[in-house]
Structure 1
Amino acid sequence: MTPFPPDVWYDEAAGPVVRPYAMTRGRTEPVRGSFDLITLVVGRGSVVPSNVTPEQARILRMCQRPLSVAEIAAYLDLPAGTVRVLLGDLLNANLIETREPVMASTGPSEELLEAVLAGLRSL
């Protein structure tokens, strides 16, 4: 008899049955789109097609309202890289829409700063 009892796994305690690289068929980059962690994703319809993977079906059901890539990864308990690949496939199939983050401008124009300075000097 071994000094330690064998590991026994029950349901969720075993962790994911399919490894993330198997979900993406070994791909590490999405086929279409670039997904920042704050990119918003929303499904294009309420019907989930039968030809998507179970993870992609969960994404489509979750994204009836906009969710960020980071939120999707957290809800699915998957690495963000894996989620990006799955999202790329959904985007390629026109099943989702994305809203990329808008970067703030580099600052006010020189003309605006000069106008503010002139206004302050006139005070």
Structure 2
Amino acid sequence: MEGTGYDGPMVRPYFLAGGRSRPARADLEMITLVVSVTDEIRERVSPEHAEIVRICARPCSVAEVSALTNLPLMVVKVLLSDLIDRGYLIHRSPPATEIPSQELLQAVLDGIRRL
């Protein structure tokens, strides 16, 4: 698109999410931590899926993944859900009674600011 400062191709978010508007998993919150269990992708996946596996080589919150991929939060949740179901990622949400650490809260805040 000329004059917008955007040089990449425009792809609608619902296309990236395979036409889905909600993730299959209901347990992915903004502060849920996700981490790759492998860096070897055994099947054909989208570039966005592959990028998320690479990003999650270290534990990241869902909000951080959204910020680092520059994708909407709901799209990221759908893609993360796919990768968890395929066995590429694991996730952990803090129990409702557990108070998140200052580091985690700061990481989520930093991720949100990047959105």
TM-score tier by shorter-chain length is 0.7 to 0.9
1:49 aligns with one of 27, 30, 42: 42
Unmatched runs of 5 consecutive residues or more in structure 2: 99-115
| TM norm structure 1 | 0.70
Q: How many residues align?
A: 98
Shift of 1:34: 2.1
Q: Does 1:83 align with 2:81?
A: no
CA RMSD between the two structures:
2.1
**Match among 54, 58, 64 for residue 61 of structure 1:** 54
Q: Find the structure with the greater CA-based Rg.
A: 1
Give CA deviations for 1:40-76 in whole Å, capped at 9, x if unaligned. 0000112133411101100000111100000000011
Write the distance in 2 (CA, Å) between the matches of 1:34 and 1:101. Answer: 11
Partner of 2:27: 34
Q: Residue 20 of structure 1: which of 13, 16, 34 is its match? A: 13
After TM superposition, the score normalised by the length of structure 2 is 0.75
Q: Secondary structure at the match of 1:45?
A: coil
The answer to whether the Cα contact below 8 Å between 1:32 and 1:91 also exists between their aligned partners in 2 is: no
Number of the residue aligned with 1:116? none
Unaligned residue ranges in structure 1 (runs of 5+): 1-6, 106-123
| Counterparts of 1:57 and 1:50, CA distance in 2 | 10
Alignment of 1:98-113 (within 5 A): 98-104=91-97
Residue 8 of structure 1 is matched in structure 2 by 2
CA drift at 1:25: 1.8
CA contact (8 A) 1:73 1:83 kept: yes
CA distance in 2, matches of 1:71, 1:53: 19
**Between the two proteins, what is the percent identity of the paired residues?**
40
